[in-house]
Structure 1
């Protein structure tokens, strides 16, 4: 039976149940993070701390901790591994901001703007290295394989997105492949390793993998919708970033496919970088709404969130399962 997303009239879903469930574990993870981003080179903790302390949701390490609670794991290995997951994610953000030339991250100046591109790239490398140190210390080759593979897939997804940039004919299939790599792969790995450390059966590993992967796709779809649907203050990033960078996200792909020839001509110019001022962004926002592309993107996100919730059906009812279900509901209902 298909799981149900909370109806729009119900209580607004949030991450609070998950945060409450893992509060003590997250404190332990934060301790590991603070300890492992230290260095004798002062710039490293300053730059890393600028982003790590910048108000992110830390959803990926939360998935590792919640997954451990879901499968009844009572050890502490998940703390270092959740920190490794956060370091991998943070490293990719630092590198992404350099590649994209981003000026804002989570509502404040991006690290590359403050510290410069070379330092930002190198500190990203440092965090990747710290992540792999933590994996090796855990001692599980399976965990190492899962997280190292996810790191490689993320890099492939970012390169694929770069080559698809300003390519107006990018297909929905390719777009889903890109976000499946650059976002969903780490969600899946972060979730799956909880079952690995608990030595669960393969079906439980796969269920957590499916949960994380589908949640990651839903999360990215909403992120891409928000670029055309929310104020910068709500998103923590400047509205229209994707538009100005010529990224072919699903709202644009659908609006282009559904538009008139005159509208398609506008999108070709915009994606090529020849129409990117405030009035062009305003028109793009109108078009993704008038063609139904924005709502269709949100509907796709709800579909993937439902698949994530369905994946949890192999686990018995529990507070952890309820919290993870609501996290999927939050992923599609959020405005930031």
Structure 2
């Protein structure tokens, strides 16, 4: 196993370099998104536009564009494919918010709260369909295989998470399986397809897949760590949503494993839905900090972040490589 060097930076990491790198390409992607979310049924563009215009940074399509730039790809196929990635992501958000009963997304009311669950599910289905149209138009069976597989894996991850909900006995291994599927799979696919359009070999595909996959895991670990101390401005959702929903994330798994009998009883009651008040959330935070569960979760995030950076090791130095490295560092630094 390669030696993992700690992430070091003298200034706060930012997404500015990757955003500047892909700005022109992202304008083209946004044009595709705007055109393809249109429909003769007015509710579809209205609801889809609410979420797509809701302040997201377009992280996943930006990764497709930046990886294409890393490989010096000169064509335009990646514009439609990056839009495809964003449609898959947006569709999963619409479905997730219905499943979770979420009221906030990026600090705004969720589509299911405004238009209702049936409309959100059906528009999510519409966006999935649009994503597959874009895959077919690209004409590459390899791209179709990568993105369709990612879509299936994401759905499996969401079902796995649903069946693990309110089960305090959920293992760390199962948790990693869940986030590897529901979050990291699309990060990995978004990066990997750039190697396909740039006509690079399997080794290059695998390197970009490893970069995206490890970045996705690090990204989700940080989200799960800061859920307990977040607010609508920081996370775009209410503090403690995972706690009240009975989601067993790594901080909870670690805190439960390290607790005494009283602490274990609290965690079981909380995850099973019997201790969900603001005072309970405050007590949960105390247990998480005292047990070192939050700190250790963030340490794991840094480890996966470094693995993402290491995956780019064989790539020559460039602005694109530096921007992709800093994107990892930004993802991890959100917790600080």
TM-score band, normalised by shorter chain: over 0.9
Q: Cα deviation per residue 1:198-219 (whole Å; 9 max; x = unaligned)?
A: 1001111100000000000000
1:108 Cα deviation after fit: 1.0
1:170 Cα deviation after fit: 0.5
List runs of 5+ in structure 1 lacking aligned partners: none
Which residue of structure 1 aligns with residue 109 of structure 2?
109
Tell whether the 8 Å contact from 1:3 to 1:310 is kept in structure 2 after alignment: no
1:230 Cα deviation after fit: 2.5
Tell whether the 8 Å contact from 2:94 to 2:120 is kept in structure 1 after alignment: yes
Distance 1:228 1:17 in 2: 30
Which residue of structure 1 aligns with residue 209 of structure 2?
209
Which residue of structure 2 aligns with residue 165 of structure 1?
165
1:228 Cα deviation after fit: 1.2
Tell whether the 8 Å contact from 2:106 to 2:232 is kept in structure 1 after alignment: no
Asked if 1:48 is matched to 2:48, the reply is: yes
Which residue of structure 2 aligns with residue 291 of structure 1?
291
Tell whether the 8 Å contact from 1:228 to 1:288 is kept in structure 2 after alignment: no
Q: Cα deviation per residue 1:219-266 (whole Å; 9 max; x = unaligned)?
A: 000011111122332111101110000000001000101111101100
List runs of 5+ in structure 2 lacking aligned partners: none
Which residue of structure 1 aligns with residue 313 of structure 2?
313
Tell whether the 8 Å contact from 1:230 to 1:335 is kept in structure 2 after alignment: no
Asked if 1:63 is matched to 2:63, the reply is: yes
Q: Cα deviation per residue 1:109-157 (whole Å; 9 max; x = unaligned)?
A: 1100000000000000000000000000000000000000000000000
Q: Say which SS state the counterpart of residue 313 (structure 2) adopts.
A: helix
1:335 Cα deviation after fit: 4.4
Distance 2:62 2:288 in 1: 33
Q: Say which SS state the counterpart of residue 39 (structure 2) adopts.
A: coil
Distance 1:284 1:108 in 2: 26
Distance 1:269 1:194 in 2: 46
Distance 1:3 1:18 in 2: 23
Which residue of structure 1 aligns with residue 73 of structure 2?
73
Q: Say which SS state the counterpart of residue 228 (structure 2) adopts.
A: coil
Q: Say which SS state the counterpart of residue 183 (structure 2) adopts.
A: helix
1:2 Cα deviation after fit: 3.3
Which residue of structure 2 aligns with residue 6 of structure 1?
8
Which residue of structure 2 aligns with residue 138 of structure 1?
138
Tell whether the 8 Å contact from 2:165 to 2:248 is kept in structure 1 after alignment: yes
Distance 2:38 2:232 in 1: 32
Tell whether the 8 Å contact from 1:234 to 1:335 is kept in structure 2 after alignment: no
Distance 2:273 2:17 in 1: 43
Range that drifts further, 224-233 or 154-163: 224-233
Which residue of structure 1 aligns with residue 231 of structure 2?
231
Tell whether the 8 Å contact from 1:235 to 1:335 is kept in structure 2 after alignment: no
Distance 1:311 1:139 in 2: 28
| Aligned positions, number | 334
1:3 Cα deviation after fit: 4.6
The within-5 A match list for 1:172-251 is 172-251=172-251
The within-5 A match list for 1:259-274 is 259-274=259-274
1:176 Cα deviation after fit: 0.3
Asked if 1:331 is matched to 2:331, the reply is: yes
Distance 2:139 2:5 in 1: 37
Tell whether the 8 Å contact from 1:29 to 1:82 is kept in structure 2 after alignment: yes
Q: Say which SS state the counterpart of residue 226 (structure 1) adopts.
A: helix
Q: Flag the 1:5–1:315 CA change in 2: closer, same or farther, 3 A.
A: same
Distance 2:50 2:195 in 1: 32
Tell whether the 8 Å contact from 2:81 to 2:135 is kept in structure 1 after alignment: yes
